[in-house]
Amino acid sequence: MKLSRRKFLTLGGGALILVLIPKGIETSLAGTAPETAPSPIGDWTKEWEKHYWGFAVDTTKCIGCGRCVVACKVENRLPPEPEFTRTWVERYVILEDGEVLVDSPEAGMHGFKDEVANARLRGREIRRSFFVPKLCNQCDDPPCVQVCPVAATHRTADGVVLVDRKRCIGCRYCIQACPYGARYLDPEERVADKCTWCYHRIAQGMKPACVEVCPVGARIFGDFKDPESPVRQVLRKFSVGVLKPDLGTKPKVYYIGLQSGVR
């Protein structure tokens, strides 16, 4: 079971991503195995202080293709099932009568061609429809870090929340405490798992896999400590919102065009 899943992902998924992603990116995705090459930046723990990572999502650009979800599954060797996912895409359909319909078939990884969901919309008057990609918000005040009984979940100095898979006891308190549904229990190792903004990539100066493959630039990643970084520019140019700000978690994924009612 363990082997077949892993093999499925590395072989099948590897082939998949070669087809899906634009040319030129394969090289950067392939060069992630840490044991093959020494880190180009030396003692990376000292690099912590130099960065403060941030993320922006442009909901006006997302086309719901789901490539980001697939890229994440492949890059991070996640279980193939959609209910164990580090990122997903939601479709919001707001009808003229005010009703809000939300769906995310198979976490959105194959787009939104689901017949059953689409049948619900037939004959209804649609006011607005848009896609909302979701991922871990790497909150500045993360409830998951607060509640972890053994401090397996922790925050790095450059602002990313990580899970120490060797410490996690699998109590799932963090999964309950996350207001965004960003966490799940890894079905193989029985420990908590979540999006890391591809920490292994960003620590080496690369972009997260989902940002890399997004064909419309709806996912924007950068360093708050760099004035020229794309996230800083987004915050300067657009009015942005974060998810569930009233919970005081201080999320660091900023949404351009965030419609009220998106939760």
**Residue 31 in the binding site for other proteins (CB under 8 A):** no
Stretch binding other proteins (CB under 8 A), from 43-51, 170-178, 221-229, 230-238: 170-178
Sole binder of other proteins in the list 75, 90, 158, 212 (CB under 8 A): 90
3 state SS of 232:
helix
Compute the distance between CA of residue 140 and CA of residue 160 in angstroms, rounded to an integer.
Answer: 9
How near is the Cβ of 121 to other proteins at its closest, in Å? 13
Judge residue 196's burial from the number of C-beta atoms within 10 Å of its C-beta, 0-12 exposed, 13-18 middle, 19 or more buried: buried
Site for other proteins contains 263 (CB under 8 A)? yes
Q: Give every CB contact of residue 222 below 8 A, 6+ residues apart in sequence.
A: 53, 54, 56, 229, 230, 231, 232
CB closer to other proteins out of 38 and 98: 98
Residues 140-159 that bind other proteins (CB under 8 A): 143, 145-151
Residues 92-121 that bind other proteins (CB under 8 A): 100-104, 106-107
Window 186-225: contact mask with other proteins (x via CB under 8 A): ---xxxx---------------------------------
Query: 163, exposed or middle or buried, with CB in 10 Å at 0-12, 13-18, 19+?
Result: buried
- Of 82, 111, 241, 257, which lies in the binding site for other proteins, with binding defined by CB under 8 A? 82
Out of 85, 137, 138, 229, which residue is the one contacting other proteins (CB under 8 A)? 85
The kind and range of the H/E element at 237 are: helix 230-237
For residue 158, with 0-12 CB atoms within 10 Å meaning exposed, 13-18 middle and 19 or more buried, which class applies? buried
Residues in touch with other proteins (CB under 8 A): 82-85, 88, 90, 100-104, 106-107, 134, 143, 145-151, 167-173, 175-185, 189-192, 247-248, 263
